[in-house]
Every structure is written in structure tokens, then in C-alpha cells.
Structure 1
Amino acid sequence: MSRNGDPEPEGGEPVLPRPPSSAIVRPRPDPFLVVCRCFSLITSLTAILCIAVNVLSAVRSFKNESDVFDGIFRCYAVVIAFFVVLAETEWEFIIKFWKVLEYWVGRGMLQIFVAVMTRAFPDYSERKRDLVLLQNIASYLLLACGLVYVFSGLLCIGLLKRSRQEKEITREQAVKDLEELERRREELEQMLLAERA
């Protein structure tokens, strides 16, 4: 027995105490970041609904030759709504070239713009009433998401989110490094035991 009560091997060399494998505790996800991710998912789905509505409107406009300009307008709305979806993924490539989308106020303004484009030029004819209803639903939902983003951005909640994301990434990396060290230690202990045997 060693001085601190730990067992010694036959050769007299002390064995370092090994923490139990359950000692590495995975951190729980940050509830604030979970809420932000859920809201981002809702915004993405709403933008996808705007894309679908604008595609349907564009197809109907191009079929009716007198509405060609409306069809072109809808095509632009589709492209910009696609950027809204990409911005919500926070893909580094997009954020790198369009830094304004990193900030919630800029992102919210873009969403409001797409909502207005989706709502513009409604056709109130009886045969297109279903499409107008879809346009209204999609545009008002995206408008609400955009307003939430603008007000949250003005209250610096986007900055808080980025700060917490950095902490979460650092914490996850620390846990991975600790697990890697533990795995490497076990391998070295196995090699040491094999050499002694």
C-alpha cells in the first residue's frame, strides 16, 4: 500500500488513480440556443412556404400572358426567399460573403422584404382564391418572423446567441479532447500491462 492508501503493483511503482468513465459528463444543451434553433427552423419552413407559393404564382402568371411581369417578380421573390433559407442555416460560405445576414436586424429586414414581395400583386379572382390564401398565410408568417428578428437584433439577442454558441463549441471541444486523452491513457495502460506480462 502507498502512503495515500492506493495499491502498489509488485514492482513498487505507484499506480495513478484513474477517474471512472462516468466522470466525463457531457454538458446539457443550452436552452436559449435550443429555442433559437427552433425559431430558426420555423423561419426556414416559412421561407420554404413562401418559395412554394411564389413558384405556383409564377407558373400561373406565365401561363396567362398578360401577367408576365408578375411572373418575373415572383421569380425574384423565389431567389431572395432562398437566401432567407440559406441565412437560417448559418452556413459559413453565405455569412462570409453577406456579413449583413449574420446580424439579426439585417436578416429580419430581408425576411420582411420577402414577405412583402410574396404578398404583393394578389389576384382576387375566384379561381385563384386558394393561392391568395396561401400567399397571405406565408407572407404574414414570414413578416412575423422578420419582426421578431428585427426587435431581437435591436435588443442585442443575436450577439448573446453568438456568444453562447462560441462557449458551447469550446465546451464541446474540451469534452472531446478529454475523451481522447482518456482513450489514449487506457491504450498506454494496456501497453504497459502487456510489457510487464
Structure 2
Amino acid sequence: MATNGGGERGGNSQQQQPPPPARSTSGRRIRSRPDPLLVVCRCFSVITSISAILCIAVNIWSAIRSFKGGYDVFDGIFRCYAVLIAFFVVLAETEWGFIIKFWKILEYWAGRGMLQIFVAVMTRAFPSSNEADKELILLQNIAAYLLLACGVVYVFSGILCIGFLKRSRQRKETSREQAVQDLEELERRREELEQLLIAEERV
């Protein structure tokens, strides 16, 4: 009888113990593989932005020399316009919604590439014939040809509809990331409810 009582007490103590918490999947971070096409596009966008920024710096330098020397005011004004347009190239690479809204053509890669080629031509135009400007001419050539190459790649990619494919995959990635965030929020909420249930059972 004592043994049975002890067994019953042992059984009751086992029944009174709170159930172990269910294993939650939220402890495991849900990771989605990055799209290789989007990774390549982002890297190329960074290269294009750097090339455009280099064009901005070169044109600013050239404009300062033109205005300071007073030998070619028109070239200085021309360089100022090149700086403004190159700045739009950098903004286009950020794909800022405000810019895309008012400059719809920049959403399409062919139009964006044509703008980059135009800036490259403006940067390369009217090279100085002064022997003291060799460094400036070298930087002009580097910046112009880099941005020209990026513009040509953008134009051909736009013709091949790679820009459309990139935008489609970007929308899918955004939807997937939102779904992952919603799932993680649900898992977090489930864990909170589990902890609350365990606390109530212990009381």
C-alpha cells in the first residue's frame, strides 16, 4: 500500500509538473537566399555611381580652373551643367522613388544608359591643351570612359529587358522579405503566449 501510495504521489507530482514548452521555430532565423541577379545589379550600380561621382569631381575641378584662370568662361559653365547632370545619374542609381516619379525615363535602363553616355561625352569634351593640365586630362579620360562603359552596358541590358527582369525579381524579394517578417512576428507572438500559458499553469 505504501508503495502504491508512493507511486500515486509520484504520479501526481509528475502530473503537476508543467509541460515542457513547445519547440519554437522562431529561434531559428529564417533566411532567404539573395538573388544572384540582384546582387550583380547592386554591385554594378555601385560602380556606376562611383564613376559618376568621379565625373562630378573632375568637372568641378575643371570648372574652377576655367573660372579662376579666366581663359574660358564658357567651358566653366559647360562643366557646371555636366556636374548637375552627373548628379542626376547618381540619384538615378539610388532608385529614389521621388526621382523616378518625376523622371520616369530613368526607371528604364536604356534611358539611364543614354544619360550616362551623355555625361561621359560632356566630361571628355573640350580637353585642355595646356601641358600643366596632364593630370586633369588623365582623370577626365578615366572618368569619362568608365561612365561610358557603364552607359553602354545599361543600354544593351535595357534592350535585352534585363532591367524589367531585375524590377520583377526586386518586387518578389520585397514580398518575400515582408512575408518573412510577418512569420517572425507570428512566431514571437506565439512564444509570448506560450510563456504566459506556462506562468498561469504554475500558479
TM-score for the superposition, normalised by structure 1: 0.89
Secondary structure of 2:189's match? Answer: helix
Indicate whether 1:26 and 2:51 are aligned.
no
| Superposition misfits of 4+ residues, deviation over 3 angstroms | 14-24
Matches of 1:192 and 1:100 in 2, distance apart? 56
Name the amino acid aligned to 1:108.
G
Q: Deviations over 1:123-174 (max 9, x none)?
A: 1211011101110110011000000000000000000000000011111111
**Residue 172 of structure 1: aligned partner:** 177
**Residue 116 of structure 2: aligned partner:** 111
Name the amino acid aligned to 2:171.
E
Indicate whether 1:35 and 2:40 are aligned.
yes
Name the amino acid aligned to 1:151.
F
Matches of 1:37 and 1:130 in 2, distance apart? 31
More helix by share: 2
**Residue 191 of structure 1: aligned partner:** 196
Equivalent of 2:167, from 158, 162, 171? 162
Indicate whether 1:85 and 2:90 are aligned.
yes
Q: How many residues align?
A: 187
Equivalent of 2:140, from 135, 138, 144? 135
Contact 2:60 2:79 in 1 (8 A): yes
- Larger RCO of the pair (alpha carbons < 8 Å, separation 6+): 2
- Deviation at 1:15? 9.5
- Deviation at 1:189? 1.1
TM-score for the superposition, normalised by structure 2: 0.87
Q: Which of 1 and 2 has greater Rg?
A: 2
**Residue 81 of structure 2: aligned partner:** 76
Secondary structure of 1:28's match? Answer: coil
Contact 2:25 2:187 in 1 (8 A): no
Indicate whether 1:101 and 2:91 are aligned.
no
Q: Percent identity?
A: 75
Which consecutive unaligned segments of at least 5 residues does structure 1 have? 1-8
Equivalent of 2:53, from 20, 27, 48? 48
Instruction: Give the aligned CA root-mean-square deviation in angstroms.
Output: 1.9
Matches of 1:43 and 1:10 in 2, distance apart? 67
- Deviation at 1:63? 1.1
Contact 1:124 1:132 in 2 (8 A): no
Contact 1:24 1:175 in 2 (8 A): no
Contact 2:21 2:194 in 1 (8 A): no
Contact 1:53 1:135 in 2 (8 A): yes
Secondary structure of 2:72's match? Answer: helix
- Deviation at 1:66? 2.5
